[in-house]
Chains A and B, each alone.
Chain A
Amino acid sequence: MTTPTEADLQLEYMRRLAEKKKAKQRPECMVIVFGRGDLTTLAIQNVVAASFVRRYPGVRPLALLRDTPEAGPLVDCNPYLRYEMRMEGEITGLVDWFDIGFSAPVTCEAPEWTKGKYSSADIVFLPHMLSVPPARLDGFAEAPGCLRLPPSKQAALWSELEQAGLARDRWFAVMQAGGDGAAGLADPQSYRPAIEALLDRGGQVVRLGSSDEPQLPALPGLMDFRGAPPPLQLAAIATARLAIGGDGTMVTLASAFAVPCGLTNSVSYGQRVWAPEAIVLAKTVELADGSRLDTPAAFARGFLDGASAAAVAARHDNRPEDIAAVTVALHDATADCTGWRAGLEPQAGPAASGGIAFPLQLTAQPRMRWWQAAP
């Protein structure tokens, strides 16, 4: 056996380097650009990004974001984003930062960027590329991205929840009696039977949402957190046993924190719920011929995905008893949660076998439960 020469060793090194490059089929370095937008938009961008990160153990994800009151706290809650650059100005980043030429005219000298070699990212997610309905994103259900309260802040936030009146030894639900915008409007009074059902079962109820919505009668165990500081509202959502609400931000955030959700009085679902245990009770769709479609039928005909909106003559609010029935079903399905919900640890995998297919693929069959209201 002959001893390899220095040249042999050098050639072998290069051979292996080349083979490694050719064998690379999975992303090793991702840049995730978060955009401006409301909490719904940012929550979805976060969970979709998290979903891709968890499918690639060992990937180096870098979050690029502006440090705004909306974006910053949500990214704090994203356990999958290990590296981040928070920009204080108006600009999130520059296209030139990806220039890898020998004489790039503009480069990013931030240590986070240069050490991680993010100019050579394998994938760059722009904000709108992450703004897809998670329920319909192929592979999301198998590897959902979930947020959690930052471990370093959870104890303090829970303490604030207690100070705000929540009993530490009892579970609670969060509720938004209505939704965002005109389409999601509903009579808050229609949620009263649902609230009473939860209180009867030993829970507490935290009302969230807009302060403009009408007051509900005071009930023991019902707390009104509307107008509370956003971090406290976020902590309540993340810690709840379940969430019941209309077509609004609260339900999206609860879904992002993996809190089982009942989406009621909805006209769509794509931005709100995606977990298989979620329940959707849409507003009843009335067509021009007077026929009415319940939730499963409305979904099957695309009316919950924005299709054929012109064919809809009216959408009728859910009946109080149907909202209550959804609430009880969700309560029964969450029997394993008897106190305050602790956030999920970040989970790796299931590992993807190859790269990420673009454009991102959507499935026609989201896996939530479409509620069949009693006749």
Chain B
Amino acid sequence: MATSSQRLGVVVFLGYQTLGDFCFACLTAASVAAALGGARLGLIYRDDRPYKGPLVAMTPLVTASLALPADAAMALPLDWFDPNYSQAGWPEPWLAQGLHRPDLFLTPSMMWISSIIPPIPALRLPPAMEGRSVEALRRLGLDPARWFACIHMREIGYSHRSGLDKDRCVDPLSYLPMIRDILFEQGGQVVRLGDPSMTPLPHLPGLIDISRLPNSFVLQAFAASRARYFVGSDSGATQLACAFKTPSATTNALGLGVWNDGDVMLTKTICSSGGQRLSLADIRSSAMMDLHYFRLPGARVADNTPGQLVAVARHMHAMTGDCTGWRQPRVEIELGSLGLVDLPLRQRGIADETHVTWWNE
């Protein structure tokens, strides 16, 4: 056990698979370490998605990480944390930092975004990732002298979530008017994020589609971090942009996927099983957006209209007038001086504690 003069040791098991959940857990872990005045922070994750390793590298305050093989046959026994068990398996940095005997052990159920300890930290790209990504985006045709927006539209074909949660999916073509507005009315460029299963978009000058590039997570994260603003749907890519504190709008939303002041939330139209259309007031007061995975039983949803999406993008453009080129990365992190944290971490209503703009229909 650490004494008051030592930095505390916190170990977090990031037992999530989806991008958004994993982002939440990384940020919450960093917030705990920050609240403890900069604790030693060890992250354990199963290396079964291409984004997990990079996200761990992008998480501030991490002092050690341990990637478990994707092969489920290889697992980490809890016994490794037992002082009377062999230490032979631990990587040297874990032993050197005493993270094999942490003061605090956090598991996924403790790490939801609503458990985050303010101020909410941000991800940041290590310099090596930045340099490679700048060049890659230039080669793909993105003008480094002009700002760009990032977009992402959730579809049903993503290999790890194929066929799941259809209500959160959208018709990507419904975003075309918005894309054209960004390109030709606002004067920006557009970088589309996603995965190779996504519906191709028509060729438009200034539209760079990197969703089809294999192994491009770091590039996509870099784009999300440097965009003037981000417009996404209810999906992990939106949380990724938000995690970089890029001004973000979540559209066609069924859960509150943004949390920074000024971010925008435009929900799908939701009708109860009895056919009653829920008002924005109903949706907000029910806190269903905070609960995220809880849905109104039997509810039916309808997508946002292209006009709504254009309006949201114009709002984001107007709101980010100070960003005329590629966004400069944020590097600061505010350390707390609590010295201790209470478990369970207090669940905060993100919608109550941040100033997200709920888009008025």
Contacts and interface: CB of A to CB of B under 8 A. Distances in A.
B185 interface: no
Contact of A356 (B285, B286, B290, B342): B342
A91 interface: yes
Contact of B78 (A22, A92, A104, A355): A92
A5 B340 CA distance: 46
Nearest to A362: B1
Contacts of B84: 35-37, 41, 127
Given A36-B85, A357-B342, A126 B294 contact: no
Contacts of B296: 7, 10-11, 14
Contacts of A360: 1
A140 to B, nearest CB: 14
Interface string A129-167: 101100000000000000000000000000000000000
Contacts of A126: 78, 81-82, 101-102, 105
A56 B349 CA distance: 24
Interface in B7-61: 8, 13, 15-18, 21, 44, 46, 48
Contact of A64 (B17, B78, B104, B107): B78
Nearest to B293: A102
B108 interface: yes
Contacts of B105: 124, 126, 129
B72 interface: yes
Contact of B15 (A17, A98, A127, A362): A98
A214 B66 CA distance: 51
Interface stretch (B89-97, B135-143, B270-278): B270-278
A374 interface: no
A253 to B, nearest CB: 18
A7 B79 contact: no
Contacts of A362: 1
Contacts of A93: 77-79
Nearest to B108: A100
A95 interface: yes
A1 interface: no
Nearest to B349: A22
Nearest to A355: B342
- Residue in A25, A103, A132, A354 with the greatest tally of chain B CB atoms within 10 Å: A103
Contact of A17 (B103, B285, B291, B297): B291
B341 interface: yes
Contact of B103 (A22, A98, A358): A358
A105 interface: yes
B203 interface: no
A101 interface: yes
Contacts of B16: 99-101
Sorting the interface of chain A by its residue count into under 10, 10 to 19, 20 to 34 or 35 or more gives 35 or more
A47 to B, nearest CB: 17
Contacts of B274: 5-7
Contacts of B15: 95-96, 98-101, 104
B109 A119 contact: yes
A309 to B, nearest CB: 16
Nearest to A64: B78
A357 B276 contact: no
B343 A355 contact: yes
Contacts of B342: 25, 354-358
Contact of A99 (B8, B79, B83, B108): B108
Interface in A227-277: none
B354 to A, nearest CB: 14
A123 B344 contact: yes
Interface in B278-297: 278, 282, 285-288, 290-291, 294, 296-297
A123 B49 CA distance: 27
Interface string B328-361: 0000000000001111101111000000000000
B2 interface: yes
Interface in B244-269: none
B71 to A, nearest CB: 9
Contacts of A128: 1, 81-83, 101
Contacts of A36: 79, 82, 84-85
Given A10-B296, A15-B285, A99-B15, 7 more contacts: A6-B272, A6-B276, A92-B77, A96-B72, A128-B1, A356-B343, A358-B342
Interface of A: 5-7, 10-12, 14-15, 17-19, 21-22, 24-27, 33, 35-37, 41, 64, 90-96, 98-106, 119-124, 126-129, 131-132, 354-362
30 contacts: A5-B272, A6-B276, A10-B297, A12-B286, A15-B286, A15-B287, A18-B290, A21-B114, A36-B82, A37-B82, A37-B83, A92-B78, A92-B79, A93-B77, A99-B15, A100-B108, A102-B18, A103-B160, A121-B110, A124-B107, A126-B102, A127-B82, A128-B1, A128-B81, A129-B102, A131-B83, A354-B342, A358-B341, A359-B1, A361-B340
Shortest beta-carbon contacts, A-B, top 8 = A18-B287, A7-B272, A99-B15, A35-B82, A355-B342, A98-B107, A120-B109, A36-B84
